[in-house]
């Protein structure tokens, strides 16, 4: 089964639907597609919800909203209500640890993310090793609610493409463009 597998959406738990939506709209031109559950709906704290979501019995499912980024998978925002919600995970914690978004202009995207309320962990850094190339850079930020968000750009084909069975994804229309960068 190697065909037909794609990332449909990424789920992000946020403390406030309105401010999180405003962040993704301001930072990335996200568009609200639809609400599965509205902020005015009664939170779902049923035993069934606890079972299928795998959440503590003290928590309840609140609003759910699907956003679309200009390109790529959907972004599904979740609010939960209850006393046992923990702070956002750090990259060193177990589990899915960060969301990385490819951007064409890292400096512009970083300025927009910061203007929308995120805080950078450091200045942008060059990608190294198998991801190196002229202009290939990344930066980690923290969203206003503390989740880790990486911005990455690689306008130059990456060296891993010389030996990997396929590209993970590329902003170039034709991965064969790599041949012009092949030192062999």
Q: With contact defined as beta carbons under 8 Å apart, do 169 and 149 qualify?
A: no
The tens digit of pLDDT for each residue in 91-147 reads 888 777 899 999 999 999 999 999 999 999 999 999 999 999 999 999 999 999 999
Q: Which domains does the chain have, with CATH numbers?
A: 1-83 (3.10.180), 93-184 (3.30.720.110)
Q: With contact defined as beta carbons under 8 Å apart, do 8 and 74 qualify?
A: yes
What pLDDT does 1 receive?
A: 44
Closest CA to 84 of 114, 63, 59: 59
Q: With contact defined as beta carbons under 8 Å apart, do 169 and 152 qualify?
A: no
The tens digit of pLDDT for each residue in 39-89 reads 999 999 999 999 988 999 999 999 999 999 998 889 999 999 999 999 888
Q: What is the pTM assigned to this prediction?
A: 0.82
Instruction: Find the angle CA(85)-CA(90)-CA(94) to the nearest 5 degrees.
Output: 85
Phi-psi region of 28 (alpha: psi -120 to 50; beta: other; left: phi over 0): alpha
């Amino acid at each position: 089964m190697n065909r037909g597998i794609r990332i449909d959406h990424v789920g992000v738990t946020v403390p406030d639907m309105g401010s999180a939506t405003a962040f993704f709209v301001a930072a990335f031109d996200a568009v609200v597609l639809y609400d599965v559950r509205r902020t005015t709906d009664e939170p779902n704290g049923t035993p069934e919800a606890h079972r299928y979501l795998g959440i503590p019995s003290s928590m309840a499912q609140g609003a759910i909203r699907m956003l679309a980024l200009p390109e790529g998978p959907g972004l599904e925002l979740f609010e939960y209500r209850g006393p046992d919600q923990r702070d956002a995970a750090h990259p060193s914690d177990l589990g899915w640890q960060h969301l990385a978004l490819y951007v064409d202009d890292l400096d512009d995207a970083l300025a927009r993310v910061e203007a929308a309320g995120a805080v950078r962990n450091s200045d942008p850094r060059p990608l190294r090793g198998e991801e190196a190339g002229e202009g290939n850079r990344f930066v980690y930020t923290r969203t206003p609610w503390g989740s880790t968000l990486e911005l990455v750009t690689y306008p130059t084909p990456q060296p891993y493409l010389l030996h990997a069975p396929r590209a993970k994804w590329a902003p170039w229309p034709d991965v064969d463009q790599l041949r012009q960068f092949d030192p062999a």
